[in-house]
Structure 1
Amino acid sequence: MRRALWGAGLALAAALCAGAAQAQISDDVVKIGVLSDMSAAQADSTGPGSVTAARMAVEDFGGTVLGKRIEVVSADHQNKPDIGSNIVRQWLELQQVDVVADVPTSSVALAVQNLTRERDRLFLNSSAGSSDLSGPACSPNAIHWTYDTYSLANGTAGPLVSQGASSWYFVTADYAFGHALERDTGQAVNRAGGKVIGSVRHPMGMADFSSALLQAQASGAKVIALADPVGDTATAAKQAGEFGIQQQGQKLVGLLIDVVDLRAIGLETAQGMLLTTSFYWDRDNETRAFAQRFLKRHGRMPTQFQAGVYSSIANYLKAVQATGTDAARAVVATMRETPVNDFFAKNGRVREDGRMVHEMYLMQVKAPAESKGEWDLLKPIATIPGDRAFRPIEAGNCPYVGKAG
């Protein structure tokens, strides 16, 4: 009888322990919300492709974590902070979404970062670029994964100024991302010994850049820099080609540009352009393997944003598994302790300000004669170590650095 009671007690204790472990996953499901631009200028570079990348990451993980189902939901924020905020508020309050991912458009991302901090959920930012997101607006619940305006500026401006491109004029999207990119690039130009001689701002999603480009051309600057989101960069670059800006001696620089943009612009117009990126599909065997799988699913090669969505979610799920819970602060703590090693980044690390530090790549657009196929668009110029690519943590003014919690 004693043995039977002892055995029953052990069984009950085991059941209670199992129940406690299971209770660590809120609502018995890990729910990932992919908030993106599904219908406007950034949809080809993020949007449905980001949802595909998220689902691939979940499938590759096995579809469950700690015995609980992983679910992906998605929505279109239409590049509007109020719409994005309303969607995320409903996700967090009514649908029990645990982590918000992707979020192109920095003004939307800043709003989402506030909401996820207030409600103690996690934000995996792959596509918004403002360096303020890991600076003054940082959050203990957010990780800035893929790139930022500082890394784009630092990677591209210095090499160009050293080649003699000493005077710069900006064509800038008039919202948070464009402002940050112009600011960070202007500072990089000045550090390298160059000079910013002017700028013109325009609404996001503008169809006609002729007035802005003519002002930039009339400035006489050696560099016309497009401080624009993807989509706008492609539109402006194509119109600059029609004006013959580069043929007349000025250098056109797309500060944020990806393979989808480049294919739209065409190598005839974009050839020779320098750019900084966190990911290129043809960099090595691992990137090529991921890219071919993505191409079969989505019909296009992955952009850096879509690759970042996959990587951030895959590493998040590993952290949930290792931590034994989907509680945001606990998972972030594990992600800070765990190096990132996958096709996207080698020896990446998540800092206290939320910045995931990794190598960036200075690339050059190929001439048409150099390209061997539809997506063969870039050639490597230099690898930029993470500690040099991204802003030093002490220079970012993140209010959470050095404070517990």
Structure 2
Amino acid sequence: MRLKLKKISAGVLSALALSAGSHAAGISDNEVRIGYIADMSGTYSPLAGPNGLTAAKMAIADFGGKVNGKNITIVAADDQNKPDIGANKVRQWIDTNNIDLVAGMVSSAVTIAVNKVVESKDKLSIVSGSASSSITNQYCTPNSVHYVYDTYAMAHGTGEAVVKEGGDSWFFLTADYAFGHAMEGDVASVVKGSGGKVVGAVRHPLATSDFSSFILQAQASGAKIVGLANAGADTINALKTAKEFGVVASGQKLAGLLVFLHDVKSLGLETTQGLQLTTGFYWDRTPETRTWSKRFYKETGTMPTMVHAGVYSSTMHYLKAVEKTGTDDSQTVLNEMKSTPVNDFFATNGRIRDDGRMIHDMYLAEVKKPSESKGEWDLFKILRTIPADQAFRPLSESKCHLVAKG
């Protein structure tokens, strides 16, 4: 009897060991590896950049640095806003470091190139910084998630509101690459659909320092609204030039189609007061956003953009999926991420659709007057919430090949 019990015990122990071993084997190379790539020093570095890397590291630390007993590591690189550099770096990471997840990404052209590599290698990417709605439309892949915002959401949030207030003729100042084209196209569609018209547009290179000729063309157009279909330092330089040339003083209005907290902070409330914009996150909106943002401020010395908050949220969502499934297999993890709602300080009942778009509420904000601001970072007031199903492109209009038709 004693011998039989020993045999049973040994069999049970063996089965348990086998089960534990197979569970652990789900994590390739016994480590979960994340590669963070973004513009780390150029035009778009304030949007994500080094502080986005800090947000990802905060998520890893808050998760405990391990998932199912396996270490979580992260590496980072500067893509310099160049698609070839971004794609080559990610290919190298995957081939030599077996990176599981690529995070960050700001330039839409870089993102589209990187996502092709990620798909070919059957890894995952979560895009937090890029804006082009084409990433989950004609350029969608089964290996990528677009997490924070896109040009469709920004266009419908800001463009529609401006037209409703009488801004029914537009001239676009557009960054001459994928993001700018997508933003101009999405906003133009909203303007026309709302009864307005587009009288013209001019396109400028990325990282333009002199906007004089472009602003003069905008003034000469006679449009009521000058739409800035650019971002980062380009938006800041365009707004500064517009002020110097007296665009607003002469009767035209400016619509910042992708304006971030740091852009307003840099320009000051005197220049930006009254500007309406759409955002996916504002640090002072709820007790939860304030708590996390103050932690982020202690780490970085600055309040977070919606991209920084999205990097943290998406990293946590990914790690929770790895923990629950016991593997870093791309499709298994992505399926878990899609089946689990996002409920945290960033989003309530957010969800990832078949096209890879994470849909969540967006917010129409207005820049405060100097007299309304109570502190250095007290810059926005939230005017209204744009529900998730209204903020993002409906699947019925999708060109993504992953979306079932009919």
TM-score (structure 2 length as normaliser): 0.98
Shift of 1:231: 1.9
Shift of 1:303: 0.4
2:64 corresponds, among 62, 65, 78, to 62
Aligned partner of 1:108 in structure 2 is: 110
What is the alpha-carbon distance in structure 1 between the residues aligned to residue 200 and residue 229 of structure 2?
13
Which digits, 9 at most, give the CA deviation of each residue in 1:80-123, with x for residues without a partner? 00000111001111111100011000000001111111111111
Shift of 1:402: 2.7
Shift of 1:382: 1.1
For 1:341, give the aligned amino acid. N
Shift of 1:68: 0.6
What is the alpha-carbon distance in structure 2 between the residues aligned to residue 192 and residue 231 of structure 1?
30
* CA RMSD, 1 decimal: 1.0
Aligned partner of 2:385 in structure 1 is: 383
Give the count of matched residue pairs.
Answer: 403
Paired residues for 1:6-405 under 5 Å? 6-402=8-404
Q: Any stretches of 5+ residues in structure 2 without a counterpart?
A: none
For 2:384, give the aligned amino acid. A
TM-score (structure 1 length as normaliser): 0.98
What is the alpha-carbon distance in structure 2 between the residues aligned to residue 31 and residue 240 of structure 1?
45
What is the alpha-carbon distance in structure 2 between the residues aligned to residue 278 and residue 374 of structure 1?
21
What is the alpha-carbon distance in structure 2 between the residues aligned to residue 249 and residue 402 of structure 1?
47
What is the alpha-carbon distance in structure 2 between the residues aligned to residue 123 and residue 329 of structure 1?
11
Which digits, 9 at most, give the CA deviation of each residue in 1:315-363, with x for residues without a partner? 1111111112111111111111111100000011110000101000000
What is the alpha-carbon distance in structure 2 between the residues aligned to residue 269 and residue 247 of structure 1?
12
Structure 1's consecutive aligned runs of 4 or more residues displaced over 3 angstroms after TM superposition are none
Secondary structure of residue in 2 paired with 1:325: coil
CA contact (8 A) 2:35 2:76 kept: yes
Q: Any stretches of 5+ residues in structure 1 without a counterpart?
A: none
Shift of 1:215: 0.4
What is the alpha-carbon distance in structure 2 between the residues aligned to residue 45 and residue 300 of structure 1?
12
For 2:358, give the aligned amino acid. M
What is the alpha-carbon distance in structure 2 between the residues aligned to residue 109 and residue 45 of structure 1?
15
Secondary structure of residue in 2 paired with 1:30: strand
Shift of 1:9: 2.0
Percent identity (aligned): 52
What is the alpha-carbon distance in structure 2 between the residues aligned to residue 118 and residue 401 of structure 1?
20
What is the alpha-carbon distance in structure 2 between the residues aligned to residue 220 and residue 379 of structure 1?
30
Shift of 1:394: 2.0
What is the alpha-carbon distance in structure 2 between the residues aligned to residue 133 and residue 396 of structure 1?
11
CA contact (8 A) 2:47 2:129 kept: no
